[in-house]
Structure 1
Amino acid sequence: MHNVCEIADTAAYTAAVALDPGTTGRPVRVAGDVLTMKEFHAALERGSGRSLELRRRGTADELAAEIERRRASASGPEDFVALQYLWAMITGKAKLDPLDNERYPGVRPTTIVEFARRFAL
């Protein structure tokens, strides 16, 4: 399920890329906030105005081991794919590089602070 911010941000970048003759035939990589987990936590607190408890749930290696355990007995990808996505995000493996955000200075993606404020998380 997509939220309204993702749709608006995607639409703005799509329009900018469609009008950019320099992008024909090549991938375009854009991203919103690029934060560590601690920065993400702080941004959610600032945006929501609430104090959020920080919990340590284990290491990235422990998460990878859990993914493998679930994959071994999975009836389908839904049994582990959400954890795999989380692993890619926290290890930085999902990070796009290089980013093309600077090609589109007229597009300003929604920040985590703005998102939390808008949706009263």
Structure 2
Amino acid sequence: MISGAQGVVAYLFWAVAIAAFVVEVWAFVDAVRRPAAAYSAAGKLTKQLWLIILGIALLFGLAGAVQLVSIIQMLPIIGFIAAAVYLADVRPAVRQYGRGGSSSGPYGPW
């Protein structure tokens, strides 16, 4: 058991790892919900490739969150960067194409 300042830092790194994992889950779930045609229409990588990238990022984030690897190591950081790239670049581009499906009426989705 770690006490003092080292304990506080350890808990802080663990909290950062949990927050990064939540962001990676959000990115993966969002990628699953978007239609595959939206990725090609927006000029981005295919949906399948983004799901592979974000799935691997999710595994790296999970390993960091359950402390199998340290947050300081590169894999959880790389996973977070992949999720951040998706959320900052790809999500806004594919978002305008909707979620797919045929639940739209004459004036838009309902």
Q: Which has the higher contact order (CA 8 A, sep 6+)?
A: 1
Q: With the length of structure 2 as denominator, give the TM-score of the two structures.
A: 0.27
